[in-house]
Amino acid sequence: MKTNNKINTKVSIAGLELKNPVLTASGTFGYGLEFEEYMDLNSIGAIIVKGLAIKPVKGNKTPRLVETTAGIINAIGLQNIGVDAFLKDKLPKLKKYKTPIIANIYGTSVEEYIEVADMLEGTDVAAVEVNISCPNVKKGGLAFASDRVAIKGILDGVKRVYKKPVIMKLSPNVGPLEELAKFCEDSGADSLSLINTLVGMKIDIEKKKPCIANIYGGLSGPAIKPVALAFVHKVSKAVKIPIIGIGGIMNWRDAVEFMMAGATAVQIGTANFREPDASQKTAVGIAAYMKKNNIKDVKTIIGSLSC
């Protein structure tokens, strides 16, 4: 008698169906095309491209990335080619793949977020991920993630002009994250991704100077995994919309942990720097884990933690 080994790895993020729950984290995978020679871009659930602004941004002064004991600290400064160049030069080349493309967007004012989203409406971009960790220039540099009025304005405006799923990317550096997540859900967010990087720094004790020009940067990698995992678990208890887990996910085992904690999908970030095909290996590993444990549907893993 033959055993049915067929498994279902598909998940849905607010109506966007993904072939598996593995996505790439914005800022760690370029515009996707840079990884063509290292992996099969059709092997993962979605590609989230580098954050896009209305106009090109040069980013911060160097040095702007440094290794730490269990991760990296970066202060790239959201360097990007701008939404126009992305639509003209990058997106057409990505269309040959069947993998959905998600645009991470940001601005320095509520109006800029809305303008970028408006430019993406009607394109082949399958969803937008809204980075609210940016400084609001109209509020003296206060991060949008600290300003609920601004968050509500961004969500209202983006959803007015952009009709596909809107994912809010949350920062762990402000307030109780469960409350912020619930506020975003109540304000119309279709999904949440968390966590963004933690604020960190590193010092060169010989030069008595910070190792990066910006002094502080975003800490990512294995060092933040336990923190990210705890936040995903807590937030999953506070909201009903899908959560995409981010933070130190280096392999399929880490991904399964995040899904058990309540994440519908995961993003691979820092691991891409160590292994350019890390996201593909993670997707393959999840499928192998399911077969080994006779798990027919990946969705049964989500929120299956016994506690």
- At 101 the three-state DSSP class reads strand
| Measured distance CA(161)–CA(228) in Å, rounded | 31
Instruction: Report whether 271 contacts 251 (CB < 8 A).
Output: yes
Instruction: Report whether 56 contacts 294 (CB < 8 A).
Output: no
What are the residues whose beta carbons fall under 8 Å from the beta carbon of 12, sequence distance 6 or more?
Answer: 18, 242, 264
- Active-site residue flag, 134: yes
Alpha helices, H only, the chain = 83-85, 91-94, 110-120, 148-161, 177-186, 225-238, 252-260, 271-274, 278-292
67 strand-pairing partners: 72
User: If you write DSSP's letter for every residue of 251-263 in order, what string do you get?
Assistant: SHHHHHHHHHTT-
Alpha carbon 120 to chain centroid, angstroms: 18
Tell how strand 265-268 and strand 22-24 pair up.
parallel
- At 166 the three-state DSSP class reads strand
Tell how strand 209-210 and strand 203-204 pair up.
antiparallel
Instruction: Report whether 123 contacts 91 (CB < 8 A).
Output: yes
| Measured distance CA(124)–CA(73) in Å, rounded | 32
Residue among 134, 184, 211, 307 flagged as catalytic = 134
Instruction: Report whether 244 contacts 267 (CB < 8 A).
Output: yes
| Measured distance CA(220)–CA(73) in Å, rounded | 6
Q: Which residues are catalytic?
A: 134
